Amino acid sequence: MSRPADIFRSIWRWWAYFCGVVVLLLICLCVLATLKQSRKDKAFTQAELVPLASYVETFRDSQHRLPSEAEFQAWASTNRENRAVWYYAKKPAFMSDWGSPGRDFIVGAWRGEWTEYYRSWDKKTFDGDAN
């Protein structure tokens, strides 16, 4: 017959194994969720931000200047219809750094919960909290 101490150790051992498996499963779920969000972020950038940046770059290269806010909004109203988009040709207050004046810009699009922005000088995205 087993002693109570042996039974107690056996229960705790199985409990520790169970908890270890649960923690590993939680870690795996977090990694999978992060990978899924990363794919969504890349897809949003390609579908929403790259076309905005491409328009500004094409305009800049053909006209040798950045488009005005009115020119950008006129293009966006027909090409990005019913989408909230932003364009900054000059450093906005929420930015701590900036690329080359007169050449670089920021474009943004609403994601449903926040605005995602794209910087032309380093081709990176950020959520508007760049300070």
Cα–Cα distance, 118 to 108 (Å, whole number): 6
Q: Taking Cα atoms as reference points, which of 81, 23, 33, 75 lies closest to residue 54?
A: 75
DSSP string of 65-101, one letter each residue: SPPPHHHHHHHHHHHSTT--EEEESS--TT-S----T
Mean pLDDT of all residues in 18-24: 92
pLDDT in tens, 28-67: 999 998 889 889 888 888 888 999 999 999 999 999 999 9
pLDDT class for 4, splitting at 50, 70, 90?
A: confident
Report the chain's mean pLDDT, rounded to a whole number. 89
Q: What is the pLDDT of residue 131?
A: 42
